[in-house]
Amino acid sequence: MPKLTINGKTVDAPEGATVLEAARMAEIDIPTLCHHPKLTPFGGCRLCIVEIKGIPRPVTSCTTPVSEGMEVTTSSPQIEDLRKTVLELILSDHPNDCMVCERAGDCTLQEMAYTYGIRENKFAGERRVYEKKDGNPFIERDLEKCIMCGRCVKVCREVQGVEAIDFGYRGFKAKICTAYEKDLNCEFCGQCVSVCPTGALTGKMWSLKGRKKDVREVDTTCAYCGTGCNITLHVKGNEVVRVTSREDTLNEGWLCVKGRFGYKFINSPDRLTKPLIRRDGRFEEVSWEEAFDCIANKLTEIKAAFGADAIGGLSSARCTNEENYAFQKMIRAAVGTNNVDHCARL
């Protein structure tokens, strides 16, 4: 295990760790934009530069492995000046429309600009202008806000295994695009949206529905399948306006298209909110007590007339483990039959 010093502090880092990882283990902050702990290092944004004794120029800490006896300095007037210049260069080709941006208040670039006090920009010049809108149904791609960090490309390749997007063109014309610049037509998992550090990728459905400060976050479990991914509902008033997922959960922050974008049913006015009983061929709304009494009476009648095995219970893979456990317990223990199954058998 290599022993190094970072800002004079001795750190034991695991073999193969990068200087950035070692610093974060020692709770020493190094700013980054392109780095993501679950993706391979890129070294693209250059914000994580540090000084290492014996190396005549700053190096990117996210791509430099630790070695025995290394002496690292993460912050100095020269390093901070370089970081500020890097940020100014990025922001010189950025719309800076935080007032209406979906990510304002939850944007790493905005946070960095605040930290480094960037107000005036000495690099004002030509800016990229993209008028073409992507017609895909889920993901708003605002390429003018893209800082070319490459996180979206990496997550699509390394986590989702789809490779729907990549770097295209070179220099000032470089951009993240699909093959032949067609509209995005992929799995729409939204992993790229979740790792984007700016407002370049957002959900079309949550446009102008409320930003981070406007919503209440409620952690829950996705009900679409038995995997049980952890999700966070962003609730404004009584409406779910967005779904995200935390990185410290069993699904590590990743979701599928249903979990991330299939939430509109929650607020649909077509949803049943009261039980229905069919009488004379027509459904009538009834209270929960009346519905439960009806179910209990019918089950009791059938059991008395034909035995418990005349009854079967079908549960759902869209329920949680706990709900399915309670259901099979009711069928087995209360009704008295092992006729219990669920819809995933289809």
String of contacts with ligand SF4 for each residue 100-139, x by CB under 6 A: -x-xx--x-xx-----------------------------
Provide the token pair at 182: 């067609």
Closest CB 269 distance from ligand SF4, rounded Å: 29
Nearer to ligand SF4, 48 or 107 (CB): 107
User: Nearer Cβ to ligand SF4, position 165 or 223?
Assistant: 165
Nearest to 73, CA basis, from 92, 43, 55, 52: 52
Nearer to ligand SF4, 52 or 94 (CB): 94
Closest CB to ligand SF4 among residues 95, 226: 95
Show contacts of 123-126: CB within 8 Å, 24+ apart.
123/88, 123/89, 123/92, 124/92, 125/92, 125/93, 126/93, 126/172
192 binding ligand SF4? (CB under 6 A): yes
Tell me which of 201, 205, 241, 331 binds ligand SF4, using CB under 6 A.
201
Distance CA 30, CA 23 (A): 7
Options 15-23, 82-90, 143-151, 217-225: segment touching ligand SF4 (CB under 6 A)? 143-151
> How far apart are CB 45 and ligand SF4 at their closest, in Å?
9
Instruction: Work out how close the CB of 110 gets to ligand SF4 at its nearest, in angstroms, rounded to a whole number.
Output: 4
Chain-centroid distance, C-alpha 98: 21
Q: Could you give the angle at the alpha carbon of 129 between the alpha carbons of 127 and 131, nearest 5°?
A: 170
Q: Which range touches ligand SF4 (CB under 6 A), out of 35-43, 115-123, 189-197, 278-286?
A: 189-197
Q: Does 187 bind ligand SF4 (CB under 6 A)?
A: yes
Nearer to ligand SF4, 22 or 147 (CB): 147
The verdict on 186 binding ligand SF4 (CB under 6 A) reads yes
Q: Is 200 in the site for ligand SF4 (CB under 6 A)?
A: yes
Of residues 2-41, those binding ligand SF4 (CB under 6 A) = none
DSSP 133: P
Nearest alpha carbon to residue 259 among 279, 244, 280: 244
Q: Name the residue nearer to ligand SF4 (CB basis): 97 or 301.
A: 97
**Phi-psi map region of 80: left, alpha, beta (phi>0 left; psi -120 to 50 alpha):** alpha
Hey, what are 86's tokens? 């890097």
160 binds ligand SF4 (CB under 6 A): yes
**DSSP character for 255?**
-
Helices (H) and strands (E) in the chain, counts: 8, 16
Residue 183 Cβ vs ligand SF4, minimum distance, rounded to whole Å: 11
Would you count residue 62 as binding ligand SF4 (CB under 6 A)?
Answer: no
| 8-to-2, 31, 256 alpha-carbon distances in Å | 15, 19, 44
Cβ closer to ligand SF4: 52 or 116? 116
Given 22, 66, 165, 222, the residue binding ligand SF4 (CB under 6 A) = 165
Contact pick of 6, 156, 229, 331 for ligand SF4 (by CB under 6 A) = 156
Which 8-state DSSP code applies to residue 131?
-
The whole-angstrom separation of Cα 232 and Cα 258 is: 14
Closest CA to 175 of 154, 203, 139, 145: 145
What are the backbone angles phi and psi of residue 208, rounded to the nearest 5°? 60, 20
How many residues are there in the chain? 346
Residue placing its CB nearer to ligand SF4 in the complex, 55 or 179: 179
Residue 59 CB burial class (10 angstroms; 0-12, 13-18, ≥19): middle
Shortest Å distance, C-beta 259 to ligand SF4: 12
Binding site for ligand SF4 (CB under 6 A): 94-98, 101, 103-104, 107, 109-110, 145-152, 155-156, 160, 162, 164-165, 176, 186-192, 195-196, 198-201
